[in-house]
Structures are given as structure tokens and as C-alpha cells.
Structure 1
């Protein structure tokens, strides 16, 4: 049995490395987003600064390791064999849950997941022990769970959401009121004081409060305690003078340095607070195994009181963990997916919104709009006008193809994000509370966004929906972590030798599958077939770019139409479902082009305004094409999925003839636009009219069949629907080509 526990320990070590990878993919972006979003520093410099912060923060994390050992359950109530089951269930659940959220691109809390996994596993193991006892009842459950500490941790995590949002919003509103969006001149005058306050706050809370959580605090305790005010005053004077010298010597804004140090500090705080979430459980298992081997007792009789004692830090293991975190930071693509979500929800400008509005987001936006309107009526007009003037944004004129160069938000907001989040996390770390860095950094970013009026009438309902989705995901994390860890504890306890290998294989399979899903999704985003937004500001350029867009849509129309008819002929629901997804994807891309019309028109030269009319008409015809495809794929899938009678052989044969002719026509249209052989358009249009007549004859033929031999009303409805929608598709193609040909001749 000793060898099996050694196998469990090795498995936990491997899971710890994997958990570091998936955990950092989710959490590390929390301290990168402000620097990345502001574009104050190059990406490579940001990564180097963050990497240093992680390495140093790894040393600060040893005090937090107590949470995994005795923060949730009472270790003396469990034997070694039971505690290893708890730890194994927790680690398998943790890695799968975090990887699932990373694949979706949603930031979730590693702290919440580990806390509720430990709680769920400990509760189930306690119930198993109580069930096997003749003297204990459910009332004895409180003897197994550290209810006071667990409640303190959970309440701290939940309260952090509201506190982080409120403080972030308040500090940002006051900062913007003082500095405004035109802050460059004010920073030159007041930057030294702002830098002194910001850097003093970061220095004190990150390094001094963070130091309290480490075993090294004793060396400085006598010097520091009782002299806090002197230290803060000295720090403020030093950093104010430093900020003044920095701006004079380098002729750069002190905000750049604040963002750099803030990123370093937040990375340090993250590592010090969150490393326990990834390696705390395996380290506790390692110490448990050491104590059990030294005792010489049976695994089922050796009490785990040893976990209640202070255990020395393992510097080598902490540095190895820090190294894995840094490598993940540099190479994880999922980390950047999660980063995009938070930056997108907090960006100052408009753009593509990832989340769809829901009832609650609409109600919140309407309610806050009414409250804002009410406040505006009771405040003096001069006060409202004065406040509004402080929030007037800087207008930067850039052509659309260079809009990606604009930062998501300015350096003032990035600085506030980092300073406030770093302070809150460091306070929690000093109190040995596993505060969720994800909750804090995300909610601070959302609070500063709200205060900065980034959520305007055009985007508020989408941004609020996104925040609600993320917060809902956090509650789902807590529930899922508790239930899943408890379930796995029950299964492993039932038969360790069988269930642990099976669960590990399932974990590996799911990790590989999620990796493939994310990789395919990333490929789809950068697919060469994806429709591209018009970036030209001349009529000639618009017509040229539109040819590529039309060729792309025609190519995909050809494939979707053929696949739909083949899936219908073979009664293949999976193929029809795939074509529906293809149509939805095409529809989303065309809608994105329509949503971009405002920026497209703004970008046009005054002499090229008539190009906007052409582009809008083309998008209208592309929409008609997609709507026809959507209807064809929908009715086909519905017919087969409802298990109606298949189409008759004669009907399938007629549809195949139409498909063959349409495939040839669409192929020629695609080639015509790809090669810009516009002079061939007349010949192609002639073929279209022939096909139109051909479809009309098939409709007449079906009418005759319906009167004499057709017995299925569902088949008749489907067949007529396909033929009529095919005619609409051909009409949209004709109109599109006519419009293009006319505009091409005018240039």
C-alpha cells in the first residue's frame, strides 16, 4: 500500500504542474491587463517585469500555504489515507474546472475553486466517516470542518466583489475629476505628487504588508512595528522626489513608471496570494506523506494532526513553481484569450461586443440611467456642466486600419487599476486571507470603467451583460467545485486502486480535448475565409475590397448549399447541424460588417462619400443571401430532426440537378470576382436566368405531382420551401452583381 500512496504523491506533483499552467492561464492576465490595455509599455517589457514579480512573489507565498492544510477542515479529525483521498479529488477537480473556463475565455477564480473543492471533499469525507460511526450524527459535521475560518474566507471572497468595484470606481472618479482626460499638462505640474502617492501605496502595501505573510518578517519586525507612519511619510517624500527627477531627466510621464511598478507589485501580490491555489494541496500531501512514513503506522490509523503545526517553507519547490508560472505566462495562448475578455469589457472606445444583452443587464442599465437623470435634475446645472467638462474625452483621429494602435484606456486608469488592486490584494495577503485576485482585479477594472464613463449608451447593456456573465461564472465555479470534488471523493473512497487511474485518464483526455477545441477556435478566428472589414477610404479601393468579400461569401454559399442538400438526401442530422453552424458563422461575420458601417463612413474621404452607398447596398444583398441560406438549412434540419418522411427519389434527383447547376454558376461567380474579370458578368448573368427558369419548371412539376401522387404534406412544404428560397437566393445574387457591375463602370 505504501507504493500506491507514493504513486498518488507523484500524480499530485504532476497535477500541480498542470494546475499551475491552467491556473496561470486564467489568473496571470489579471496583472497584465492594465499595462497591455494602456499600451504604455512594450509587451516584451511588461512580460519581463511581470516575470520578476512572480519569482519574487513566490517567496512570499509560504504563509498562505496554511490555508490548504488547516484553513477549511480540521486535519486532526482525518487519517492519512483519508486526507490523501481529499487531496487527490481536489487536484483533479481543480485542473479540469479551470481548464474548462480557460477554453471558454472567461476569467474565473482559482481561489474560489480551491476553497470550495477543499470544502466539498472534506464535507463528503466527513459524512462518510459519520456514516460509518455508531455514535456520531450529522450534528458532528462541525467538528470536522473549520467553520469559523471557512466562513471568514468565503465572506472575504464575496465581500471583495463589492469592495473592489466600489473603491475602484470612487478612486477613478476622483482621479479623473482632478486630472481629466487631458491629463498630460496636469501630470507635468502634479505628476510628482500623484507618483509619490501611488508609488508609496504600492511600496507600503505590496512589500511591507506582503512581507507579514512570510517567514522573513521576523527579521524586520522590530524595526517596522510602531514606525509605520514614519515609513509612509519617508516613502512619500522619497517617491515624490523620485517622480519629479524621473520626469525632468527622462522627459516622460511618471504614469509609465507607476504602471511598470504596479504591474511588478501586482504580479508579486498575485504570486504570493495565489500560489497556494496551485501547489498548496500537493505540498500538504508531501508533508503528510513524510510524517506518515516516519511514524511507521497504518495509513488508516495515522492521525493528521501534523498538518495543524507550522511547517517550514520549501524554497526550492516555490522557485520551481515560480518558474512554471513564468513559462506559462510567456507561452500560454489561453491566457491571452482570457485577457481579451477583461480588456474588451473595460475598453474606453466602441467595438465588437463579445456578450449579448440579457433581461437583467437591460434592467440595470435602464435603472441606472433613470438614477443618473434624477441626480442631474437635483444638482445645480453649473455643477453638472463642470463635472461633465472634466470627463470630455480626447479625440484622436486615426484611419480605421490603424485603430488597433489606440489603447483600450489611458494611463491614468491603468495606474488606478494597478494601485487599487495591488493594495486590496496585499491587505488580504497580510491577513492570510486567500482573497481572489481575479475578483479584485476584474471588479476594480469594471469599477474604474464605470467611473470613466466607458459604458456609454451604445455599449452599456453589452458590458453589463458581460460582467454579469463573468460573475455568474464565479458562482457556478463555487457550486461546481463543491459538487465535483465531493463526488470524486466518494468515488475514490469507494475503490482507490481502480478509480484514481480511471479519473486521471479521464482528466488527461479532457485536457487534450479542450486544448484541441481551443486551438480550432483560435484557427477559426484567424481563418483566411473570415470576412474582412472594409478599410479603404476611396471608391476604387472599396470596390476592390468588396470583390474579395463577395467571392468569399459566394464560395461559402456554394459549400453550405451543397452540404445541406446532401445531408437532407442522406437524412444526416450531424451534417445538417454542421451546415447550420456554418450559416450562423457567416451571418455573424456579415453582421459585424454591418456594425462597422459607422466607422467605415467616418473614415471616407469627402470625395469618396458615394462609395458608402455602394458598400451599404452590397452588404444588404449579402444579408439577403445569408438569410436564404439560413432558411434553407433551418427547414432541412428541422425536417430530418423531427423524423419526417424522407424526400422521394424524384425530388432528391431534381434538387441534385439544381445543385449541380448552381454549383457551376457559383463557381464561375467566385472566379469572376477573384480574378476581377468583370467583362464576363453578362455571360454569367445569362446562366443565372437559365437556372431561374429551370427552378420554376421544377416548381410546376411538383405542383402536378402534388395533385396526383404526393401523399406527404411535410415533404411538399419542405420541397416548395427549398425551391422558392433558391429563387430568392438567385435574385439576391443577380442584384448584387448588377450593383457591382454598375458601380465598377462608373469608376
Structure 2
């Protein structure tokens, strides 16, 4: 029996490695978003700086492992077997949950997930023990509810405080420096740099290093006693140094951003390491105690009071954890995916609306617009004009390809550092993820990055991320609660099976993500080129190629889907039809995303070109999307028909439709070839293709008429549903042919528009 527990402990550490990889992917946004968004340095150099901070933070930290040992549950009331069950349930849930968020590009809090997973697993086993002891052991005895409540409080405090402070500080900074900050830095560089460096170093001392393994109680006490003097000396010294560096033509904003990135990375690793390896180390400590003292008692009877003692994490574990974090940071595509989500939402220019829009987002923007209109009325004109002059975005100093300037990046890092340090000193559980994200949202809002065109999309995106934070707690608790129950009653069999399920889910998730990432990378490269280019003619050339590629991709999808769909339906293969239909929503959403990008790029072309091309662009895009919607309208009733086991398509209908479906696929392929190999001189080719499509529509019209006559001539109504369904297929096929005709015409005119 003992060897099974050894296997579980080893597996916990394997999951810890996976947890570090997915956890770092999620938390990389905390310390990299400002530097990445402002293009302060090459991504490779930023990774190196962040990796140094992460490795030092992990290696110097004691890991703050006590939260996993006795922060949520009271271990003296739980046996070794129960502690192992809780630990395994937590790790399986944590890896799956964080991977799911990362794959969708949503940042979430690893602290919240850990606390509520521990709470869910503990409540499950505490409920069982409460029943088994007839209430002798109460929930209040076995569970530390204060910690969970403090995390919930921290969520709301982090969101509200950080957003407001981000807005206020950014507004003050812009009023002083404006977007054209370089002339004012001549005299204010030292003061601004001094404040920033002082805030960052203070944050590093208070938050990053106070729990480090080399920091003794005496050192912490001395720092606490002399904080005022340290801060004053640091401010004066750094102000002088920063002013001298500025006079020497050194970019002090770059120094501030890189220092902030290093300190946030170091603090993250030092304080959040428990979220990844705390539970496996607690399980390992439990095994050490059990193997030394509890073998004679049995795993189900030996209580784990030893976990009440403070954690003493071996240095080798900290170093290995730091090395794994560095590896994850340097290689994870999902880390870039999460970073891109926040950078897009805070972009100074228009960016892809990754989350679309929502009714709630639209309502909030309407309320904000009403308030802005009222504020404009009560503010004197001269004051308004003066404030507007301080927020002239045309003067923004942006590095090529940057989402925002280095001034905002510095404010993001300084405000985040100050708030987290303040929260730590006041013993308020502010989440690093929540603070950094909402500060970035607040500063971008105050920088007027949220214009009327993008506000709804950004608000929707912000709400989606925040909703994900709140869902983390609920999902983590519920899933871990269920898994702990299954593992308790299913014993080792359930533990092994659920562990295998977790591994399979993670492997499949990574395969799917890498496939999608490859496709996105190609599209993103073209989109980035269009959005960063200042040459309208180049943007138009890139856009035409992008429209061609996206149209060809959708025509390929429609052709494959239609062919497989007809085969599945005629052969009554429900599994095949469901598999086809399951791809539909993702394809429609993907094309919507591509179309939004193309519209943003169209706005960057020459005005005369965009006006000339606009009608044909939208007509081409609308007809392409209508092909997808026709497939959807055709598929839904067919899937429902097969699910209900209704009558199959009569043989005579299938035989008469087979040539028509083949002919439609030929037209699809001809249209695809026409778009892919477009030649402005081949006007006759488009006319012949449109003529063929018109002739095909007449053939389908004949089939529709024949089907109606067949239906009217039969006295037996048993085939009523299938005849109506067949009529729907014919009608949608005819409509798709009509869409092809309009698509060809629109694409022809669009492609002949010349750039300027």
C-alpha cells in the first residue's frame, strides 16, 4: 500500500512541474505586459530580465508554503490518506483549470484558484468526517474560513482600488508631461525617476524580499523601523542619479520599466511559488512524517498534526522551481497569448476586439457617454480646451509597433508596485494579477485609448476577464469538491483514473492550442504589418492579400463541410454530422475576428481608396459569411432530424440531388481558384463563372419544383418532415450559389481598386 502513496507523491511533483508551466504562462502578464506593450526592449531581452527576477525570487524565497500546510484546513483533524486525497484533487483541478484559462488567453489568479481548490477539497472531506462522527467534528474546527474570506475581499479591493488609482495617477502624469513628454523631462526627469525608482525598490523590499530565506527577523525589523529614512534617502539618491542620466541622454523611462519588470517578476516568484509547489511539498512533508512515525497506525488513522509546524523548504526545491519557471517563461506560447489579451485591451490605437461586444458593455458605455456629456456641459470651455491640449494623442511618442508609450508603461509599474506594497503593509490581500490588470485598464482609459469605436469591445473584454476571475473561485471550489469526493470513495482506482484524465486533457489542449497558434501567428503577422505601417498604399496591398487569403480559407472550409455534410446526412451517420457541426461556431467566430481586423486595416488606407473600396469590401465579406450561415441553417434541422430517428432521405431524392451537390462543389472550387489566382485582365472568366452559377440556380429551382410536386402528389404524410428538410437543403444550396455570384462580382471590383 505504501508504494502507492510514494507513486502519488512523485506524481504530485510531476503535476507541480506542469502547474508551474501553466501557472507562469498565466502570471507572466503581471510583470511583462507593460514592457511588452511599450516595446521597451526586444521580447527576448525582456524574457531574460524577467527570468533573472523569477529565478532570484524563487531561489531566495522560503516559498510561503504554510498556506498549503495549514492555511485552509486544520491538519490535526485529518489523516495522512485524507491529506493525500486533498493534495491530489487540488493539483489535478489546478492544472486543468489554469490550462483552460491560458488556452483562451484569459489571465486569472493562481492564488484564488489554489485557495478555493484547497477549500473545495477540504469541505468535501470535512463533510464526510462530520457525518461519520455524528457532528462531533464541526466544519469550524476543520476549516480555516478566514483565509478564503480574505481572498474574496481582496478581489473586490484589488479591482476597485487599482482601477481608480490607475486613472487618477495617469491623469495627473499626462496633465504634467502630456503625450509629448520629452521637453518636460528636461527639468522633471529626476523627480519623476526618483519617485518611480523609490516606489519600485520599496515594493521589492516590502513585498518581494521580506519573506526571503536570507532575510532574518532582525533585518525585517530594522527595515520596518527605519522605513521613513530609507525611503527619503532612496528618493534623494535616485532623483539625482536619474537627472544626471537624463542629461547624459539616457532614456530613464526605459530604466524604470525594466526595473519594474524585474522587481515584479522577483516578487511574483517569491510570493506565488506556493501556488504551484506548495501542495506537493505539503504532501511530501506529510509522507515524511507518516513514513517515520505512522506506519504502524495506518494511513487512515494517522493524524497530520505535524503540518501545523512552519514549512522548511529545502533549497534544492526552490532552485529547481526557479529553473522550471524560467524554462516555462522562455518557451510558453500561452504566456504570449495571455499577454496579448491585456495589451490589446490597453492599446493606444485601435486593436482587434478579441471579445466582441455585449449588451452589458454597450449599456455601460452609454452611461459613461451620458456622464461625459454632462461633465462637458458644466466645465468651462477654456478649461476643456486646455485639458484637451494636454491629451493630444497625435503627439504620442510611440516605438514602432508599440501599443502605448513608455510613460504609461512606467506609470503602470509604479502604481502597481505602490498598491501591492501598500496592501502588504496594511495586511490587505491584494492580488498581483488583479492589481496589474486593472491598473493597466485605468491608465488606458485615462489616456483616451477607449474611443467610441472601441469602447464597447474593450469594456466587454475587461468584463470577460473579470468574470473569469470570479468564475475561478466558483469553478475551482466545485470541481475540486467533486474530485475529492470521487477520490475518497473510489480510493486508488479513482485517483489513477482521474490523474490519467488530467494528463489526457492537458496533452489534447496543448495539441489544439499549438495548431491554432500556428494559424493565428500567420494572420497576426499580416495584421501587425498593416497596423504598424504608415504607408497607406502598403496597407492596401497587404489588405488585398489578406482578404484573398481569408476568402480562400473560407471557401475551402465551405467546400469540405458541404461535401461531408451531404454524405453524412444521406448515409444517416449522426456521429459524422455532429462532428462536422461542432466546427461551425468556431469557424464563424474566427471569420468574424478576421473581418474585424480587416475593417481596422481598411481605416488605415487612403480615404479615397477606403471610400471606393468600402462597398465592395463589405459586400464580399457579407457574402462570404452568408455561405457559413447557410451551412448552419442547413445543418441544424438535419442534425435534429437524425437525432429523432425520423425517416431517411428517399432514394429517388438522394439520386436526383447527387449530381446537383457535385455540380455545386465544382462551382465552389472554380470560385476558389478564381479568387486565389485573380487576374484583373480575366474579365471574361468571371462572366463565364457567373453565367454557370446562374444556370446552376435554375437547375436547383427545377429540383425544388419537382420536390413540391412529389410532396403534393403523395397521400401518405409519413415523409412530410423529410420532404420539408430536403426543400430546405435545396433552398440553402440555391442561396449559397447566389452568394457565390455576388462574392465573385464584389471581389473582382475590390481587387481592381488601386492604392494611393
| TM-score > 0.5, shorter chain as reference | yes
Higher mean Cα deviation, 543-552 or 335-344? 543-552
Query: Counterparts of 1:88-127 in structure 2 under 5 Å?
Result: 88-127=88-127
TM-score normalised by the chain length of structure 2: 0.89
1:693-704 maps to which residues of 2 (within 5 A)? 693-704=698-709
Whether the 8 Å contact between 1:542 and 1:611 is mirrored in structure 2 is no
8 Å Cα contact 2:365-2:456 kept in structure 1? yes
CA displacement 1:608-658 (0-9 Å, x = unmatched):
964555444444544554454444344544544554433221212222111
1: CA distance, partners of 2:454 / 2:546: 28
* 8 Å CA contact 2:675, 2:747 repeated in 1: no
1:132 alignment partner in structure 2 = 132
Query: Can you list the C-alpha shifts for 1:113-167, whole angstroms capped at 9, x where unaligned?
Result: 1111222222333333332225716xx3212223444433442344222222222
The 3 A distance-change label for structure 1 pair 740 and 369 is: closer
Distance of 1:484 and 1:64 partners within structure 2: 25
Aligned pairs for 1:617-636 within 5 A: 617-636=619-638
Where in structure 2 are the equivalents of 1:270-419 lying within 5 Å?
270-295=268-293, 298=297, 299-394=299-394, 405-419=400-414
1:601, 1:612 within 8 Å by CA — same for their partners in 2?
A: no
Aligned residues of 1:529 and 1:552 also touching (Cα < 8 A): no
| 1:746 Cα deviation from its structure 2 partner | 9.7
- Helix, strand or coil at the partner of 2:564: helix
CA distance in 1, matches of 2:491, 2:57: 36
Residue 657 (structure 2) aligns with: 655
Which range moves more in the overlay, 364-373 or 213-222?
213-222
Q: Does 1:492 align with 2:492?
A: no
Kindly provide the CA deviation profile for residues 525-544 of structure 1, in whole angstroms up to 9, marking residues without a partner as x: 35789998996838998877
Q: CA deviation at 1:478?
A: 1.1
What residue is the counterpart of 2:533 in the other structure?
none
Among candidates 462, 466, 470, match of residue 475 of structure 1: 470
Match of 1:240 in 2: 239
In 1, Cα distance between equivalents of 2:434 and 2:81: 34
Question: 2: CA distance between counterparts of 1:655 and 1:252?
Answer: 74
1:197 counterpart residue number: 195
CA contact (8 A) 1:558 1:666 kept: yes
Distance 1:16 1:626, change over 3 A: closer
Contact 1:587 1:623 (8 Å CA) reproduced: yes
Q: Tell me what 2:161 maps to.
A: 163
- The whole-number CA distance in structure 2 between the counterparts of 1:534 and 1:222 is 54
SS of the residue corresponding to residue 26 of structure 1 reads helix
Structure 1 distance, partners of 2:54, 2:545, is 49
Which of 713, 721, 743 is the matching residue for 1:708?
A: 713
List alignment gaps of at least 5 residues for structure 1. Answer: 399-403
Greater CA drift, 586-595 or 470-479: 586-595
Equivalent residue, structure 1, for 2:517 = 522
In structure 2, distance between residues paired with 1:676 and 1:157:
55
Q: 1:473 to 1:742 in 2, by over 3 A?
A: closer
Any gaps of 5 or more consecutive residues in structure 2? 531-535
Once residues 609 and 359 of structure 1 are traced to their aligned partners in structure 2, the CA distance between those partners, rounded to angstroms, is: 30
Q: How does 1:205-244 map to 2 (within 5 A)?
A: 205-218=203-216, 220-221=219-220, 223-244=222-243
2:53 aligns to what? 53
Shift of 1:339: 1.6
Pick one of 492, 495, 503 that aligns with 1:508. Answer: 503
Give the SS at the match of 2:393: coil
Kindly tell me the number of residue pairs found equivalent between the two proteins.
739
Q: Who is 2:70 aligned against?
A: 70
| 1:512/1:446 CA distance change after superposition, 3 Å | same
- C-alpha distance in structure 1 between counterparts of 2:417 and 2:142, whole Å: 34
TM-score normalised over the length of structure 1: 0.90
The 1:222/1:641 distance shift into structure 2, 3 A limit, reads closer
CA contact (8 A) 2:180 2:396 kept: no
What is the match of residue 466 of structure 1? 461
Distance 1:573 1:449, change over 3 A: farther
Aligned to 2:85: 85
1:180 aligns with 2:178: yes
Pair 1:608–1:78, CA change in 2 (3 A): closer
Measured on the aligned residues, the alpha-carbon RMSD in Å equals 3.3
